[in-house]
Structure 1
Amino acid sequence: MDDDDNIIVTDDDNIDDESAELEDTDVDTDGDDDETLDDEPTLTFKIENGRIRDKVDEKQAMVQAVNKILQTERLVYPIYSDQYGNDLNDIIGKDMGYAKVEAERMIKEALLADDRVVEVDIDAVNEVSRDTLEIKGTCVTVYGNINIDSEVSVDDTR
């Protein structure tokens, strides 16, 4: 395998000097400074059994992103922004009624922080044991719907 096989080329790498100058002079006529989804790559690595196996894009990449957001505690890992991840650890040790309501809100908030997520519909938050909640729903993304099936422990004896 050549070293060139490991190079990832993005759209920015293929811009010639003339088009780069034109991009710098573009005027934002609608007052919206946000990038469009076309400008945001979704290409990521396909992980199987903890190993990188291939690359995936669009919906498969979003499935991975949703799962990662639901598994990552917010404000713990310095490589992520303060908007990435969830706050589900905050409901550990809380009353089950409170935990049900907050778990739904926290999952919606965590997923909606990703610009590719359009809507989050939580269908059910069920108590499966005295200290575990099961959350089922759908994450609507620009690439399609992704099922949410997650468990949250509220046990404070860990």
Structure 2
Amino acid sequence: MIPNASINIELGSAESIETSRTYKLSGDKIQGYVDGLEALKQAIYKVLNTERYEYPIYSFNYGIELESLIGKDPIYVQIELKRRIRECLLRDDRITDVDNFKFEVNGDEIKCTFDVHSIFGNFTASREVIF
């Protein structure tokens, strides 16, 4: 038997905030869940270690282009790395700014350290690139 009562539901104009809860990657295993700042750090690690246009599972907007920097002048690599990291990370709505870039050149490797400002707080991240 189906009830005859009518139900009125009024939908407000409140904005919904998407959660950042995701699986926690621990080495080569998935163990539990992570949320907030730790989820953002994990997302940054993943996007900075995925070559853009390389994997068909990801959209063309995901990842960073680093292979084209191989064999280039260190000054050019530093300038491009700064631009590419900012471009890559600022696509994430949780990140408000990326700044304070510092570079350490050691042979054919550059270590780039930078500050990430997010809705969850600020932290320092880094990425090493062989050029």
Q: TM-score range by the shorter chain?
A: 0.7 to 0.9
Query: Residue 139 of structure 1 is aligned with which of 105, 116, 124?
Result: 116
- The 8 Å contact of residues 122 and 135 in structure 1, kept in 2 or not, is answered as no
Cα distance in 1 between the residues matched to 2:56 and 2:17: 25
Gaps of at least 5 residues in structure 1 are: 1-16, 27-35
Q: Which residue of 1 aligns with 2:29?
A: 51
Work out the number of aligned pairs and report it.
124
Matches within 5 A, 1:7-156: 19=9, 22=11, 38-129=16-107, 131-154=108-131
| Runs of at least 4 residues off by over 6 Å | none
Amino acid of the residue matched to residue 46 of structure 2? K
Aligned-residue identity in percent? 36
| Distance 1:136-1:90 versus aligned 2 partners, 3 A rule | same
Cα distance in 2 between the residues matched to 1:144 and 1:89: 31
Shift of 1:84: 1.1
Cα distance in 2 between the residues matched to 1:69 and 1:122: 19
- Cα deviation digits, residues 21-41 of structure 1 (max 9, x gap): 737xx6xxxxxxxxx6x4322
- The 8 Å contact of residues 82 and 101 in structure 2, kept in 1 or not, is answered as no
Q: CA RMSD in A?
A: 1.9
Gaps of at least 5 residues in structure 2 are: 1-6
The TM-score, its normalising length taken from structure 2, stands at 0.84
Q: Which structure has greater strand proportion?
A: 2
Shift of 1:146: 2.6
